Amino acid sequence: MPTISRIAEYQDELAEIRHDIHAHPELGFEETRTAALVAEKLRAWGIDEVHTDIAGTGVVGVIKGREEGRCIGLRADMDALPIQEATDLPYASRHAGKMHACGHDGHTTILLGAARYLAETRDFAGTVVLIFQPAEEGLGGARRMLADRLFERFPCDEIYGIHNDPTSDPGKVSVTPGPAMAGATFFDIVIEGKGAHAAMPHQSNDPVIVAAELIHQLQTVVSRNTSPTSPLVLSVTQVHAGSAYNVIPNEATLAGTIRYFDDEVCERTHERIRLLCKGLELAHEVKIRVDLRNIFNVLVNEPGCAGAYVAAAAEVVGEENSALVDRLVTGSEDFADMLQVVPGAYCWVGHAGSVPLHNPGYVLDDGILPVGASIMARVVERRLPIRQGASA
């Protein structure tokens, strides 16, 4: 039976699982209920090993194939976002200020569907490691799993991840060989000046003026210090200063992100930010503290694994709907950290949703569940083939 046909039989149950997870969203490293549900399902479906409490709330399952062979890892993220849901779905979030606005409830369910099928059929030679990761949304869940010796405990030869795409047509699958998603630095800049009465600004070293000047100067890093052929996005997303109309404050703070696809560009950007701040310190007689934190690495798909993923997807959605593409996504994804240790690939699967990710009105199309599960299962079967003539 073709993979998608068998997994399609799970459609209703998969939808119920996703709706349950969606109604009970949990933020990064708080996914205790979700992890318990995942572990319960894995045990019920006969997965050979189920390991919990990895990196706090992570879960890992292990499935043995009919023959010995290499090991393939499949990964899904479990955490929600601190967003108030505005969908009016019957299974909408029951927790104020928390929502699965990125579709991680769907990713978790997709991997559960693939796990059930692979445990049922075991039509592969080797081992599958199912990785249910906590805290993808900027909290370092992948790094914490790696620090918890993920790949020492569960060695993998290749690893594959998946993400839903409401901007693409339903069933369209794409993979970008090489650099595919941006690395990211988060920054906090604190300007310590000297406050004064707003009517007597000459008595101050005004941190608000410095903050305004710095916001403008930071954009010159993109326009004048970076090659136009090397993508770089620098966004100041927070500005905080003062609490009264008639008082120049002592302090102002800025925060934001840097997105890049080349580590040298990132290092040069960090250097320029520090130099700009040093110059403003001297010019305005203030003190500026700069905190630059690497949160995501550049996600790099290994070309061979990327091709294998597209070929597996083509068997599910058709060759006309599965392609290698030259597409750089300026968003970030901490699956990149796992790909720095184990070669693999990350694919995008389109669905019928129309609202962008990280939006209070975002809705995941349940039709993606058997499609995504089938693609993940099929890449295992293709990469870990049973020897011809092997007994069933």
State mean pLDDT over 67-88: 98
pLDDT level of residue 45 (50, 70, 90 thresholds): very high
* Residue 390 pLDDT: 54
- Is 104 known as a binding-site position? yes
* Residue 389 pLDDT: 59
pLDDT tens for residues 190-205?
A: 999 999 999 999 999 9
* Residues 122 and 64: beta-carbon distance below 8 Å: yes
pLDDT tens for residues 115-141?
A: 999 999 999 999 999 999 999 999 999
* Residue 388 pLDDT: 73
307 has a pLDDT exceeding 60: yes
* Residues 38 and 52: beta-carbon distance below 8 Å: no
pLDDT tens for residues 333-380?
A: 999 999 999 999 999 999 999 999 999 999 999 999 999 999 999 999
- Is 158 known as a binding-site position? no
State mean pLDDT over 150-165: 98
State mean pLDDT over 93-121: 98
State mean pLDDT over 67-81: 98
pTM: 0.94
pLDDT level of residue 392 (50, 70, 90 thresholds): very low
State mean pLDDT over 227-247: 97
- Is 51 known as a binding-site position? no
State mean pLDDT over 172-188: 98
- Is 137 known as a binding-site position? yes
State mean pLDDT over 319-344: 97
* Residues 340 and 155: beta-carbon distance below 8 Å: no
- Is 95 known as a binding-site position? no
pLDDT tens for residues 21-36?
A: 999 999 999 999 999 9
